Amino acid sequence: MELVTHKKFKNGRLMPWGKGTVVSGARGFVYLCGNTATAENYDPTGKRGGGFTGDAAAQWRAILANIKS
């Protein structure tokens, strides 16, 4: 199994606490955690915007979109 870590961006803004990891050649279980469905206008440096995006289904779609990016 090979792991490669990247900086996490959302809507062009660096999420300073976040890291994205690409897993290649995994055999078995890979644990995924830490993705959130905050609104696109969230700015971690100015602590403005944010909030959640809609209902549970909308939040899940936003999380999957974050993972794909």
What is residue 67's predicted lDDT score, i.e. its pLDDT?
74
pLDDT tens digit string along 19-54? 777 788 878 776 666 666 666 677 766 666 666 667
- Give the span between the Cα atoms of 62 and 27, in whole angstroms: 27
Burial 11-47 (b: 16+ CB within 10 A, else e): eebebeebebeeeeeeeeeeeeeebebbeeebebeee
- Could you tell me which residues come within 8 angstroms of residue 59 by beta carbon, excluding any fewer than 6 positions away? 37, 52, 53
Q: Is the pLDDT of residue 4 over 80?
A: yes
Give phi and psi for 59, each to the nearest 5.
Answer: -65, -40
For 67, the token pair is: 């993972």
**pTM beyond cutoff 0.75:** no
Domain definitions of the chain by residue range: 2-68
